[in-house]
Amino acid sequence: MTEESKFIEQDLQSIILQALSKVQHPEVKEQNIVGLGMVPDVRVEDQLVTITLAFPFQEVPATAELPQKVIRVAKEVCSDEQVRVDIRKMTPEERADFATRAQGREPESSSSRSVRQVIAVMSGKGGVGKSSVATLMACALRRRGYKVGILDADITGPSIPRLLGTHGSLVGGAAGIQPAETKTGIKLISINLLLPDENQPVVWRGPLIGRAIQQFWNDIAWGDLDFLIVDLPPGTSDAALTVMQSLPVHGVLLVTSPQDLAGMVVRKAAKMVQQLGVRLLGLIENMSFVLCPDCGNRIEIFGPSRAQETSLQSNVPMLGNLPLDPELAVMCDQGRAEDYLNENFDQIADKVLELVRSSMERMKP
């Protein structure tokens, strides 16, 4: 390609982007598709214009309407070329930026933050040990040498600081609020670290909860992390939506227990994640059994496991089963979750690492 043809190509790309910047998003008021980051690429090759159109989620009404409109607008400014639109799903980072721009704000600078993998831990139903699983996952990854943080998104029911024995107030810095650190170096933010008394309730409506979660992501100086584990509250409402849409979530771990009631609610959570186009890493069944201290037999005190059934119905990999361990309960009450070791959980952590290994090339523990 000659210098002249390169100049013509770049000039045509600019003209097309300028024309597309007048295409309004049908659902986001006063926002155009270029400003929302939905046109990541325009290529001009051999009389063919290829426009890449990125959508935050797989199934949205605009996916049927916008491509044809983009083609019409592009043909008006480049009548001599053929126009094609390639559609793809946004990356987690692009999706988070889209959500920020849709609110009329510019995405925060990432110069003071480098988080390679954001993994959300979700249950749908309360009482299945989701926060314990999130904490143990962070601890297992930290023992393997990775730089790990935990974002406690359970604003009205925070428990992570107690599990890790982390207390005290947070301090500000040039790059933002500094997260607390556990004894092994896990970075942590939770609403309980901002309250004068950990027993004080947080009586907030959904919009305030969502805003707090976004601030935990944007205003905390996370620095360089390999993994950020996000502990979601139960349910599929505001807080979960805020995390899925505003944070660059790369994968979700689902936690259930043997009862079919828990499985039913977790299947709802799985469908929500799939509808939002976020990757489901796998299912973990907690409290599957207890080991008899005398004979070592497994006792299924909550009935037979239904996790495999839930796994098949939700099309999500089964990662493993965890016991109901009195030792874990005692150590969590003492704030010593980092000292707890369990072979079953180590195997689950290894499976999670294998699942995300393709996107971990730059991680060096």
What are the pLDDT digits (tens) for 144-169?
Answer: 999 999 999 999 999 999 999 998 77
What would the pLDDT profile of 91-121 be if each residue is shown by its tens digit? 888 988 888 888 777 776 554 568 999 999 9
What confidence tier does 7 reach under pLDDT thresholds 50, 70, 90?
very low
What would the pLDDT profile of 56-102 be if each residue is shown by its tens digit? 876 666 667 889 999 999 998 887 789 999 999 898 889 888 888 88
**Could you tell me which residue, 29 or 228, shows the higher pLDDT?**
228
Closest to 94 (Cα-Cα) out of 24, 36, 25? 36
The whole-angstrom separation of Cα 139 and Cα 185 is 10
Predicted local confidence at residue 124, as pLDDT: 79
The full DSSP string for 142-154 is HHTT--EEEEE--
What is the sign, positive or negative, of the torsion defined by CA atoms of 58, 251, 37, 363? negative
Q: Which residues of 206-242 are buried (b: 16+ CB within 10 A; e: fewer)?
A: eeebbebbbebbbebebbebbbbbbbbbbbbebbbeb
Closest to 225 (Cα-Cα) out of 110, 135, 96? 110
Contact 275, 247 (CB under 8 A): no
CA distances from 241 to 31, 201, 205, 245, 276 (A): 21, 22, 14, 6, 9
pTM to 2 decimal places: 0.83
Taking phi over 0 as left and psi of -120 to 50 as alpha, with beta for the rest, 52 belongs to beta
Q: What number of residues does the chain have?
A: 365
Domains in the chain, start-ordered, CATH in brackets? 3-90 (3.30.300.130), 113-359 (3.40.50.300)
What confidence tier does 5 reach under pLDDT thresholds 50, 70, 90?
very low
**Per mean pLDDT, which range of 110-114, 142-146, 184-188, 332-336 is the poorest?**
110-114
